[in-house]
Amino acid sequence: MAISRSLRLLILAITGSSAAPRVLPRVLPRASEICYGESMSLFCYKEPNGTPQNVDVADVKYIGAYLRHYGRQNPNKPAFYTMLAPDTPDCAEWGLYTRGSAQALAKHIGEKTNTSVLYEDIANTIDGGESPTDASKAAAIIGCLSDGGSLGVLTNASNPAYHTTDYTSSGYTLSGILVKIVAAAPVS
Ligand SMILES: *[C@@H]1O[C@H](CO)[C@@H](O)[C@H](O)[C@H]1NC(C)=O
Ligand SMILES: *[C@@H]1O[C@H](CO)[C@@H](O)[C@H](O)[C@H]1NC(C)=O
């Protein structure tokens, strides 16, 4: 049972990335450890409540820029990142992108919702925006510096992409995805 579930998620990850073969090479399903207990507010992995991840801030910045670029490849159709309830049992956590010391993960907290957000918003959640200010960086995961951390996607609900007929008729919601910056898995 567990294996078939993993396989299904793997197939989903592969299918998902086939629309964009090169750009997201590390989309992998990850078993989630816990479903609840993680806040959508900014949480830095600092002692005593967190374990510092020792990531290089330059890698975090790169990941943000990469995901923003990915989201904008088609200027007329900004890319969405979607986590459907049936595909994400137990608050599944999927890899978004890995760079050097750091990896970005997306965890689906909304067990009963289908969540879909712009890559652009995921990028902003990580790096505080394309031309960030000190305040926007402090409010984003990059504000956790080398510790890494987590934050619910900061969606910009006024983006017209959330107001298309496609989006509004999909039944998708903007809330429910927690983004994390953690240490990249050790190379084996
Ligand atoms: C979520 O998506 C699945 C698969 O498309 C669908 O069966 C389900 O009804 C949707 N749930 C909600 C709450 O929209
Ligand atoms: C949100 O989106 C609107 C419409 O695209 C844009 O004008 C505004 O600058 C965006 N806000 C932020 C904080 O990015």
In this prediction, residue 185 carries a pLDDT of: 72
Residue 6 has pLDDT above 90, yes or no: no
Contact 24, 70 (CB under 8 A): yes
Confidence of residue 110 (pLDDT cuts 50, 70, 90): confident
Q: In whole angstroms, give the CA distance from residue 27 to residue 119.
A: 14
Residue 16 has pLDDT above 50, yes or no: no
Q: In whole angstroms, give the CA distance from residue 75 to residue 78.
A: 6
Q: Taking residues 66-91, what's their average pLDDT? A: 95
Number of the ligand 1 atom closest to the C-alpha atom of 113: 13
Q: Taking residues 70-74, what's their average pLDDT? A: 97
Percent of the chain with pLDDT over 90: 72
Phi/psi of residue 164, nearest 5 degrees: -75, 160
C-alpha radius of gyration, the chain, whole number: 16
Q: Which residue has the higher pLDDT, 187 or 157?
A: 157
Q: What angle do CA 145, 40, 94 make, to 5 degrees?
A: 80
In this prediction, residue 90 carries a pLDDT of: 87
Residue 134 has pLDDT above 80, yes or no: yes
Which of 80, 113, 114 best tests ligand 1's pocket when mutated (most atoms within 8 Å of CB)? Answer: 114
Determine how β-strand 80-83 pairs with β-strand 177-183: unpaired
Task: List the domain boundaries for the chain.
Answer: 2-183
Task: Kindly state if the Cβ of 159 falls inside 6 Å of ligand 2.
Answer: yes
Average pLDDT, the chain: 85
Q: Which residue has the higher pLDDT, 119 or 13?
A: 119
Q: Taking residues 23-49, what's their average pLDDT? A: 68
Number of the ligand 1 atom closest to the C-alpha atom of 172: 14
